[in-house]
Every structure is written in structure tokens, then in C-alpha cells.
Amino acid sequence: MIIPAYNEADTIGATLRALAPIRAQGHEVILADGRSWDQTVEIARGLIDRLVSSEKGRANQMNAGAAAARGDILLFLHADTLPPKGALEHVVCGLRETGLVWGRFDIRLSGRTRLLRVVETLSNFRSRWTGIATGDQALFMHRRAFEAVGGFAQVPVMEDIIISRRLKRLSRPLCLNERVITSSRRWEENGIIRTILRMWVLRLAFALGVNPSLLARHYD
């Protein structure tokens, strides 16, 4: 399990403590840090199996984490996201039984606002319909599939969309019904409707060929 993080001191502890049962089963947890200047690394020590440092950028960090990983299945988990109980068992069994090479979980946003229930429902439906997954759905894949598509593209944003498109050439995604719980902080801080509209505009612009470097200026 590979966790990219940059200045996630407020969330990384809870995420890593939730992964303690996974580590106890012998699975590897890697923190791919983007040279955080807060307490992220200090909090993580003792809660991970390996620390990898790289240039800031989720794609850079996840590629570095994958290079250091020893397992045959790679699972990428955001620092503000909690996996469901038995997450790795669902992944391993699902890939083995279906013969698929990659996939993602359904998502649940942490907030209680009803509009967030609509957002997550539409997000899960869209992902099933398009076969495209986002990083907050906890992407997972066989190492051979990751290597076959060249890992994550070295772009500042949309790396999850790009790798999904490439992986679709190998197989359709395994869409697990079990839900990861991801923080709704960006939705609540920036406004739910405003965030929805902004993400739609950014994804449309990307689909029309706008360079991800230009989109990154408006992403955060």
C-alpha cells in the first residue's frame, strides 16, 4: 500500500493507525513523501514499513513508492482516505476471481451534508459507466499492469485519469462496492456546488486537450 503525502500532519496519523491491522497481516505500507516541511514524516515513523522521499507531485511520489514496493499488487491510498475493513482481501480475491488487472473502490465522503451523498453516488456511477477512476477511490493494480502502462504520467494533475485510460486498454476496472472514506474538506471549504462546477470544467478542458500544467493553476 502506497500513500503519497505532502504536509498532511493533520490527517496522516489517523490514516496510518487505521492501517495497523493490514501491517499486522504482513502487508507493506509505504509513505511516499513529497518533502513535507510539517510534522508528516515524524508522525508517520513507527506506523509505516518504509519511507520514500521524492520531489513534490502526486505522480512523482506514487511512482517512487511503487519502485520501492516489494508486492505484486500495488494499492495507492490518499493520505486523507480510510480503507474499508478487509480492503486488501477484497482486492486480492476480486482480481483473482475476475482475471482483471486493476480497479478501484466506491467512495464515500466524510461529511454529513445530503448533497455530498449525491456527489459520491454520481461519482461512483460515473466511474462504473466510463471505466475511469480517480485517485481518491484508492486505485489498485497488478505490478505488471502498472509497468506495462509506464506508471503514472509525470503531470501535475489528472495523473489518475491518464493511468485509468491506459489501464483500460489492458482490462476493464474491477469496481468494488466496498467504500473508502475520503475527507470532504475541499468540498466544504470551497463550497460543494462550486467544487462540482470547477471539477467539471477542469475535466472537460482536459478532455478537450488542455495541458495539465495549465489546469494545475486552477486545481487547488
Please indicate, yes or no, if residue 192 is contained in any of the structural domains.
no
Instruction: Give per-residue pLDDT as tens, 10-43.
Output: 889 999 999 999 899 889 999 999 999 999 999 9
Please indicate, yes or no, if residue 200 is contained in any of the structural domains.
no
Please indicate, yes or no, if residue 211 is contained in any of the structural domains.
no
Return the pLDDT at 29. 96
Please indicate, yes or no, if residue 54 is contained in any of the structural domains.
yes
d(CA 13, CA 171): 35
212 contacts 157 by C-beta, under 8 angstroms: yes
Given a cut of 90, whether residue 217 has pLDDT beyond it is no
Please indicate, yes or no, if residue 201 is contained in any of the structural domains.
no
Residue closest to 132 by CA, chosen among 167, 154, 164, 178: 164
d(CA 62, CA 77): 10
Distances (CA, A) of 204 to 35, 163, 197, 210, 220: 31, 17, 11, 9, 17
Please report where in the chains the cell 471539477 appears, as a residue.
199
Instruction: Give per-residue pLDDT as tens, 113-154.
Output: 999 999 999 999 999 999 999 999 999 999 999 999 999 999
Please indicate, yes or no, if residue 113 is contained in any of the structural domains.
yes
Please indicate, yes or no, if residue 203 is contained in any of the structural domains.
no
Please indicate, yes or no, if residue 165 is contained in any of the structural domains.
yes
Instruction: Give per-residue pLDDT as tens, 35-85.
Output: 999 999 999 999 999 999 999 999 999 999 999 999 999 999 999 999 998
Distances (CA, A) of 189 to 103, 158, 183, 184: 29, 21, 11, 9
β strands within 102-186, DSSP E: 102-109, 140-142, 174-182
Number of domains in the chain: 1
d(CA 73, CA 219): 30
Return the pLDDT at 51. 96
List the domain range (segments joined by +) for residue 75: 2-185
What's 88's domain CATH number? 3.90.550.10
